[in-house]
Structure 1
Amino acid sequence: MSKLKCIIVDDEPEAREGVQHLLEKDKEVEVLARCANGLEALEVLQDQKADLLLLDIQMPRINGFEVLNSLPPEYRPEVIFITAYDEYTLKAFEVHAIDYLLKPFTDERFFKALDFAKARIRQQQLQEKQQRLNDLLQNQQRQAAEGREGSLLSSGSGKPTGRLAVKTEGRVHLLPYHQIMWIEAYDYYIKVHTKARYFLLRDSMKNMEKNLPGDQFVRIHKSSIVNLSHVQQINTGGMSELELQLNTGLVLKVSRNYKDRIKRLLNNDE
């Protein structure tokens, strides 16, 4: 277990030496610096992270409260105030000090405050470690989930191969065009539907359209591409609606933007 890093801040040399002597008796504590005023403490804290400040209140130039107010909350160590004045007790606890030691104090009183500070700091470190582990686990789970989603593999040659190569679940699947019934936009993904199953890919409809032969696969909607060889029936309804029924019974609507294109293809087939 790493040592707790402490900074002693007091304008009286004897007070700094006395606290240093006490801390040397605790093997779990490391003194980073002994500072004669608040400015020295702030300079140290700019370069080093401390777990605990043993901080005097009445000091020249800036006092102990001003030292704390100069630190961003996320970089503020735990604090035990050490002072000869008792009028700051309420204010000390308003800034969430761990303890408030009035000079002169006994060794027993000092170590009681120190033990409480160590327990609180260790608990916070444990919670931060657990949060980092939780974040890491969630990130790994998210990456694993994305890894189960597939991707479209294109040779870039532009030559028809009769098959669509998709990578999913750690494998490359070569799907013959005739097995692909239709393609569906699905949130930020696409689903390639075959009769047996579908393949979830991290890709766009626009890219999918480029990688399929245009005489066989037709865009009928912003979220649908259909394989014409699986179209069993054309349905027309009111308001010039047009629907394609696949040989599985599934009915897909043709949007207004693609209706004329579908009609031209059907007329050419006739």
Structure 2
Amino acid sequence: MIAPPTDRLRILVVDDEAPARQRITDLLKKDMQVETMFEARDGIAAVEIIQRESLDLIFLDVQMPELDGLGVIETIGTAQMPLTIFITAYDQHAIAAFEANALDYLLKPFSDERLEAAFARAKMRHIERNMQQFGLSMLRMVSSIVPAGRCLDRLVVKSGGTTRFLRVVDIDWIEGAGVYVNLHVGGKELLYRASLNELADSLDPMRFVRVHRSAIVNIDSILELQPISHGEFDVVLKDGHRSRVSRTYRAQLEKRLGQSL
């Protein structure tokens, strides 16, 4: 059973100055979404807590003795870090902070309003991330129980603050975007957290065909094939999108159509 996403937050505040930590924790504890607060006075202690606890958000001071904030990121790894808001008295660290995928950057001295704005942004990102992970978990669960020969007919997609069950047959084409895909449906785009390869293995091969390493198209959405030089083709879809049929995937399209191009 997959547990539904929660908006509760486990937060770590890292700063070598106790009054600075106290100010942040006192303000955040008033929020009903805060479940647990941790504190660390240096980067070494922060790394230990991050590795031991399941955290959602970190307020991380940049300048600290022994191991600074950027050192914490390097030790843990950017991909493994929770949502991170950097704190520092020096604005020259801003570029390095955002290169480390920081959600926000608080420059000391900052007001309560600025802190609250950063926290509000973090809460929204936390909800979005949870819903994306929930959708992917649902996809994996459904994939695991679909009998052999059966394909997915619904995707759980978060869009505009709501979660919808999207009929797979309504998708015109799918565009790869790293660990995400863009689902193109009726002229609109929906971001979905799953790789193109994951979806390709779960879609009906009679309806969907891969024409490029970054594109899968719905056969029913193809308007025409336009020849390009040297035996290459463009797929033209009903929504006006064009996608090149790469040599690697041309054979798959020919097999599905039952004829040579």
Instruction: Report the TM-score when normalising by structure 2.
Output: 0.53
* Cα 1:72–1:87 shift into 2, 3 Å: closer
In 2, distance between residues paired with 1:18 and 1:51?
19
- Rg comparison, structure with higher value: 1
Task: Please tell me the residue identity of whatever aligns with 1:98.
Answer: L
How much has 1:104 moved relative to structure 2?
A: 1.1
In 2, distance between residues paired with 1:31 and 1:139?
34
The answer to whether 1:117 aligns with 2:119 is no
In 1, distance between residues paired with 2:46 and 2:56?
13
Give structure 1 stretches of 5+ with no counterpart: 146-270
In 2, distance between residues paired with 1:9 and 1:51?
14
Task: Please tell me the residue identity of whatever aligns with 1:3.
Answer: R
Aligned with residue 5 of structure 1, among 1, 6, 10: 10
In 1, distance between residues paired with 2:58 and 2:136?
25
In 2, distance between residues paired with 1:50 and 1:131?
20
Alignment of 1:156-167 (within 5 A): none
- Is the 8 Å Cα contact of residues 7 and 126 (structure 2) preserved in structure 1? no
In 2, distance between residues paired with 1:76 and 1:64?
12
Residue aligning to 2:141: 136
Q: Would you say how many aligned residue pairs link Structure 1 and Structure 2?
A: 146
- Is the 8 Å Cα contact of residues 20 and 31 (structure 1) preserved in structure 2? no
Give structure 2 stretches of 5+ with no counterpart: 1-5, 151-261
Larger RCO (CA under 8 A, 6+ residues apart): 2
Q: 1:34-56 deviations in whole A, cap 9, x for unaligned?
A: 10001111111121111111000
In 2, distance between residues paired with 1:113 and 1:60?
25
Instruction: Report the TM-score when normalising by structure 1.
Output: 0.52
CA RMSD across the alignment: 1.7
Residue aligning to 2:94: 89
Residue aligning to 2:80: 75
Residue aligning to 2:249: none
* Cα 1:101–1:73 shift into 2, 3 Å: closer
How much has 1:31 moved relative to structure 2?
A: 3.7
- Is the 8 Å Cα contact of residues 62 and 86 (structure 2) preserved in structure 1? yes
Aligned with residue 38 of structure 1, among 35, 43, 47: 43
In 1, distance between residues paired with 2:143 and 2:99?
36
Identity %: 37
